[in-house]
């Protein structure tokens, strides 16, 4: 599996998680739900964004390395 495919899967998985959370929030709207979102889901979003950024950087480095080794 390529780095681009992994990036796509991670992005899609988080998008699916967030969409399901939005659906859940429509019927679960109390302090516990707010805490869950703040404590876990928003932190997951931050970590996913960092991972995607790192993957983009790694992809650039890998492409440059392949080019230089040809």
Could you report the per-residue pLDDT of 22-65, keeping only the tens digit for each?
Answer: 999 999 999 999 999 999 999 999 999 999 999 999 999 999 99
CA dihedral 45, 50, 52, 56 (to 10 degrees): 160
Structural domain of residue 34, as residue ranges?
3-69
pLDDT of residue 48: 98
Residue 67 has pLDDT above 90, yes or no: yes
Domains in the chain, number: 1
Q: What per-residue confidence (pLDDT) applies to 1?
A: 78
**12-46: string of b/e by CB count within 10 Å (b at 16+)?**
eebeeeeeebeeeeeeeeeeeeeeebeeeeeeeee
């Amino acid at each position: 599996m390529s780095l681009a495919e992994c990036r796509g899967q991670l992005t899609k998985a988080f998008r699916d998680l967030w969409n399901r959370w939005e659906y859940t929030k429509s019927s679960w709207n109390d302090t516990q739900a707010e805490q869950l979102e703040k404590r876990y889901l928003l932190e997951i979003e931050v970590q996913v964004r960092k991972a995607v950024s790192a993957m983009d950087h790694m992809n650039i480095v890998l492409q440059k390395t392949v080019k230089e080794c040809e």
